[in-house]
Amino acid sequence: MAIVAFVGLGNMGGPMAANLVKAGYTVRAFDLSEAALETAQSQGCEVVSSAREAAAEADFIISMLPAGKHVKALYVDGDVPLFDVVQPGALIIDCSTIDADTARNVADIGEKRGISFVDAPVSGGVGGAQAGTLTFIVGGSDDQFAKAKPVLDAMGKNIFHAGDHGAGQVAKACNNMLLSVLMAGTCEAINMGVKNGLDPAVLSEIMKQSSGGNWALNVYNPYPGVMENAPASKGYQGGFQVDLMIKDLGLAMDVSQQSAAPVPMGSAARALFTLHKAGGNGKLDFSSLMQFYQDKKGE
């Protein structure tokens, strides 16, 4: 079975690496955090002392890092760029959510040196990473996609080929911008109904079965108590943090600016989530925007 180097074993990368081990891959894992390394070792990864050591003999190199600057430093312009050590024929799969420009730039630099790099951001959150049900949105050539797919299958359920390099990041930005708009609209409508005496559960069911039906109403109701397992019913803990949504909306605004695509709804949603964060709610699940409408300060 192939050797996979895995760099970035945080909330997402840790469980993703564990699923590769379960699927039979040899996983050479590296993270800057000792605690993350200990967990990875307990889950069957071979822990190594540098990204370079992880990548040297790997057939696949997967990264799951916070932002574009970390990805560029890891592969291209850090102290020990992995582009200097990857073996011929290896495929690099960057699963981090980063700006499309950096993804394209790193892929271009790799291509000039005969190194294969694809962007493959994910949707599905920590729960999806743990369950191995992530959606991967890949940007790269047909051949690169075909080569990446079996590895991604071990960590996900839906594997999409969005287009050429950077297309994965653009598609992810489109999706998360739409999600933010849907969530904001859903909070707004439920709050208006409740202020007018409606039961939030009854109103939610009406809208779910009507033309306002959407993903937030179906599986992620933002009003506490309407949906037992939604973050709203657990004090907005777990789920997808406001901070991460704001990061993704920033990436969406970059895409919009570079392509002159108008995004007034996305801009409004970004402003709402930023105001909500300013109220001290950055670490709460993004459906806590409900509290912004209710004018509750981080209760």
Q: So which residues are the catalytic ones?
A: 172
Compute how many residues bind ligand NAD; rule: CB under 6 A: 26
To the nearest whole angstrom, how small is the minimum distance from the Cβ of residue 196 to ligand NAD? Answer: 34
3, 6, 8, 292: residue in contact with ligand NAD (rule CB under 6 A): 8
Nearer to ligand NAD, 40 or 190 (CB): 40
Identify residues 72-91 at the interface with ligand NAD (CB under 6 A): 74
Q: Where do we find the tokens 């564990």? A: 18
Query: What is the C-alpha separation between 160 and 140, in angstroms, rounded?
Result: 11
* Phi–psi pair at 7, nearest 5 degrees: -115, 120
To the nearest whole angstrom, how small is the minimum distance from the Cβ of residue 155 to ligand NAD? Answer: 12
287 binds ligand NAD (CB under 6 A): no
Identify residues 21-40 at the interface with ligand NAD (CB under 6 A): 30-33, 36
To the nearest whole angstrom, how small is the minimum distance from the Cβ of residue 205 to ligand NAD? Answer: 28
Nearer to ligand NAD, 182 or 207 (CB): 182
- 277-282 contacts at long range (C-beta below 8 A, 24 or more positions apart): 277/242, 277/243, 277/246, 281/236, 281/242, 282/241, 282/242, 282/243, 282/246
The interface region with ligand NAD, picked from 110-118, 122-130, 151-159, 229-237 by CB under 6 A, is 122-130
28 to 47, 58, 87, 116, 262: CA distances (angstroms):
6, 8, 15, 19, 43
69 to 45, 121, 261: CA distances (angstroms):
26, 15, 25
58 binds ligand NAD (CB under 6 A): no
Give the CB-side neighbour count of residue 201, counting CA atoms within 13 A.
Answer: 6
Residue number of the CB atom closest to ligand NAD:
10
| Binding residues vs ligand NAD (CB under 6 A) | 7-13, 30-33, 36, 51, 64-66, 70, 74, 96-97, 122, 125-126, 240, 244, 247
